[in-house]
Structure 1
Amino acid sequence: MTSRSPTLSQEAGDSAPGTPETGTDLLPRPKVFCKLCLSEQPPEATRDLQSCNCSFCTACLQQYVQLAIMEGGGAPITCPDMACQDTGVLLDSEIASLVAADQVKLYQRLKFERGVKLDPSKAWCPMLECQAVCSVQPSTEGQPTAVPCLTCHAVFCSGCRGLWEDNHTCPQRQPMMSPSASHESRARSDSISDMPIKQCPMCGIYIERNQGCAQMLCKSCKHTFCWYCLQSLDGDIFLRHYDKGPCRNKLGHSRASVMWNRTQVVGILVGVSIIVLVTSPLLLLASPCILCCVCKPCRGKKKKKKRKNELSQQDSSTS
């Protein structure tokens, strides 16, 4: 008695009904347009962000995340599309899948240090051999207070980070920021002292200003405001806010750069006006045709004519 050959059984299994044929090809998926490199890429070479569903090619996202880690200082890495409606933020898992492990560790460290720096209830111990994170208890008057370090047992000032000794006077005398303070109280306190860290008047996120002009753009809610008085600048395209009032000449740019910015805005408005003036005669010439198409008597005549044609066709068919 001979046994069945395994080759024959494998061939029989391959020809079993219900298995897909190898000759059938799936339809090709459409290519994805990447707004970073301005080219179309195959779907297998692109990535979709989980928070906003924006698509970019993987190579561009890797370069973008690497640059954001090196220059962002631990800030949230947002969607590279400036026109993104959801203002998506890359998740830690997405960042870990796009860059190397050492860059992920660098980003986590910078993110933690930035969180401590922006949190008014935390502070770094000024001792070089310690560098622990201490808890700050702001005083009721908003003045700098003594902060004890539980690691090295040093006591330092919450304002100037100097050692807290007898009759200590802080040279900064800046009031501590409280997260629960209202927008009005923050606006009053910020107008008195130019603090390096403030909160967005729209969404409340903490923003740090190291240098640059006083016109601030929140990366979280895209709100434009003045750094000094927190007044909204969304509709001030000419930046007239810095021509008068308490913020006069405090924009941070030279007068020539401000005039150049206003000239560009005026040029855009003049260009749009010229386009409207050029196209308006064409619209006037085409207006009779447009009115005739919309006119009710004309539509009524067309309906009557169509009705007569239908009746005549019916009469001819019955005869």
Structure 2
Amino acid sequence: MDGCGIQSSRPWQNEERLRDDVSLDYAYRISPGLVGFDLGLGTMTTARYRPTWDLALDPLVSCKLCLGEFPLEQMTTITQCQCVFCTLCLKQYVELLIKEGLETAISCPDSACPKRGHLQENEIECMVASEIMQRYRKLQFEKEVLLDPCRTWCPSSSCQAVCQLKEADSARPQLVRCGNCTLEFCSACKASWHPGQECQENPPITAFLPGESSSFFKSDDDDAPIKRCPKCKVYIERDEGCAQMMCKNCKHAFCWYCLESLDDDFLLIHYDKGPCRNKLGHSRASVIWHRTQVIGIFAGFGLLLLVASPFLLLATPFVLCCKCKCSKGDDDPLPT
């Protein structure tokens, strides 16, 4: 207390305390493990101290999918390519691919990934539910059977067991007997076994639905709900929609009714003539709008090329001259 009864604030003590705090922060930057707080002495001595300013400066990482910024603990790094995404976006990406059955080898969602990495099975298992993981393993198994020349699927829709081939050469037709439903079928065309006969180009589809006998066949006509892809021979079921089909296995586009290829038919001219006329399943106005869009895209590219062609012609001599000068400079001997 001074003479006026006012308590002194002692500013030099505040200055010393501030200096101590700054020195502690500096020491924490150099070696965080050496600085802490001792409850008995009331001084900073052990590794429990962390300044408040350090919490605010934690680095935020940007997610390439949602473009948001998140702390490191909310991010997931793909082991194979070291690309980093927020855990929520990566989980939704993986779940979508598995539910749609689009991919068995889930690639990095970054289209510009330099290493073209893929997610490992243990990484997928850590971020999806158990039922989704079971579906992923099922898709993997189906892909393995499809690529294995020594195994094939039973064509019965009520069985779907895996059958072993006696010969590794799957191109040669051979008798396959399903061990589950005792069905005998051809390994090449998946139709009933036909000894001494060639495989049909478009064999009928065996139904074998519950309550139906094994001798019942559905013809491969226009109304058949199940047909085979004309390219990879995978069974495809059509519930509804237009007649332009795309196989999920080989990405082949074809007409559902006549199985003719539509890979190069961008304007859908196939449905303007022949037996499939007006069978596309869309209104005439929607078809005209589709064709207008396709023609507009090609016309836009053509116009862009036409406008840019004079500039390309003018720039070509300069580019060639620069290349010639660079090549001459490389051929000149170095001064000794």
Residue in 1 aligned with 2:266? 253
Alignment of 1:293-312 (within 5 A): none
Residue in 2 aligned with 1:209? 250
Letter in 1 for 2:39: E
Change (3 A) 1:122 1:63: same
Residue in 1 aligned with 2:88? 59
Change (3 A) 1:274 1:98: farther
Give TM-score scaled by structure 2 length: 0.50
Percentage identity across paired residues of the two chains: 33
Instruction: Specify which of 123, 128, 141 is matched with residue 152 of structure 2.
Output: 123
Residue in 1 aligned with 2:298? 262
Letter in 1 for 2:129: A
Task: Figure out how many residues of one structure are paired with residues of the other and give that number.
Answer: 211
Change (3 A) 1:208 1:129: closer
Q: Following TM superposition, by how much is the alpha carbon of 1:210 offset from its aligned partner in structure 2, in angstroms? A: 4.6
Q: Following TM superposition, by how much is the alpha carbon of 1:163 offset from its aligned partner in structure 2, in angstroms? A: 2.7
Are 2:149 and 2:169, in contact at CA under 8 Å, matched by a contact in 1?
A: no
Change (3 A) 1:48 1:109: same
Change (3 A) 1:142 1:66: closer
**Is 1:196 aligned with 2:209?**
no
Instruction: Specify which of 97, 100, 103 is matched with residue 68 of structure 1.
Output: 97
Residue in 2 aligned with 1:48? 77
**Is 1:102 aligned with 2:138?**
no
Are 2:170 and 2:188, in contact at CA under 8 Å, matched by a contact in 1?
A: no
Letter in 2 for 1:252: D
Q: CA RMSD in A?
A: 4.1
Q: SS of the residue aligned with 2:116?
A: coil
Residue in 2 aligned with 1:38? 67
Letter in 1 for 2:249: E
Q: Following TM superposition, by how much is the alpha carbon of 1:261 offset from its aligned partner in structure 2, in angstroms? A: 4.2
Q: SS of the residue aligned with 2:76?
A: strand
Change (3 A) 1:272 1:79: farther
**Is 1:147 aligned with 2:176?**
yes
Instruction: Specify which of 12, 19, 23 is matched with residue 51 of structure 2.
Output: 23
Letter in 2 for 1:143: R
Q: Following TM superposition, by how much is the alpha carbon of 1:158 offset from its aligned partner in structure 2, in angstroms? A: 0.9
Change (3 A) 1:269 1:42: farther
In the aligned structure 1, how far is the partner of 2:194 from the partner of 2:53?
Answer: 80
Higher relative contact order (CA 8 A, sep 6+): 1
Question: Where does the alignment leave 5 or more consecutive residues of structure 1 unmatched?
Answer: 1-9, 175-192, 199-206, 214-246, 281-319
Q: SS of the residue aligned with 1:26?
A: helix
Give TM-score scaled by structure 1 length: 0.53
Q: Following TM superposition, by how much is the alpha carbon of 1:77 offset from its aligned partner in structure 2, in angstroms? A: 1.4
**Is 1:11 aligned with 2:39?**
yes
Q: Following TM superposition, by how much is the alpha carbon of 1:150 offset from its aligned partner in structure 2, in angstroms? A: 3.9
Letter in 2 for 1:208: N
Q: SS of the residue aligned with 2:298?
A: helix
Residue in 2 aligned with 1:285? none
Alignment of 1:84-99 (within 5 A): 84-99=113-128
Letter in 2 for 1:251: D
Residue in 2 aligned with 1:229? none
Higher helix share: 1
Residue in 2 aligned with 1:305? none
Q: SS of the residue aligned with 2:65?
A: coil
